[in-house]
Amino acid sequence: MTDFEPLIIAFACNWCSYAASDVAGTSRSYYPANVRIVRVMCSGMVDPTYILRALAGGADGVLIAGCRPGDCHYISGNTKAEKMVERMKILLHRLGLENERLRLQWISSGEGGLFARTIEEMVDRLKELGPSPLKEGKGKGA
């Protein structure tokens, strides 16, 4: 499956990770073009349904990126996100999806390199896992 290019949807916190993705861009660090970034105001506003819809809609992986512990601009949004991601990993496993397709990463605003590395790692792992079983044409149904 060498020509498989995974699609990643990243929900990135406005105050940190989204800025980091910008840093990665302006400093011209290389990262694969497999990611579509959705800017959110805080990782804590990412709802289970965003993750599921991204996957059901054909994404191979979902990244949730937020401020480091203690740095959330809304105090506890990132701890809320952490708990939610833990529960969603259980759900994905029960539903029959590899839960490594979902990743949580703390990336503060200057860490453009970490952003790029995170995407690279995810792309590598997703290439090993192969296309999401929910992708169009795999299995049938809605």
- Could you say which of 69, 87, 110, 124 contacts other proteins (CB under 8 A)? 87
Number of residues in contact with other proteins under rule CB under 8 A: 24
Report angle CA 112, 113, 115 to the nearest 5 degrees: 65
Structure tokens at 68: 């480091």
DSSP state of 121: H
Q: Least distance in Å: CB of 40 to other proteins?
A: 14
- Could you say which of 8, 72, 97, 114 contacts other proteins (CB under 8 A)? 97
- The CA distance from 6 to 126, in Å, is 6
Check residue 50 for interaction with ligand FES (CB under 6 A). no
Check residue 21 for interaction with ligand FES (CB under 6 A). no
102-141 residues in contact with other proteins (CB under 8 A) are: 133-134, 138-141
Report angle CA 29, 34, 40 to the nearest 5 degrees: 85
- The CA distance from 9 to 50, in Å, is 10
Residues interacting with other proteins, by CB under 8 A?
47-49, 52-53, 55-56, 83, 87-88, 90-91, 93-97, 133-134, 138-142
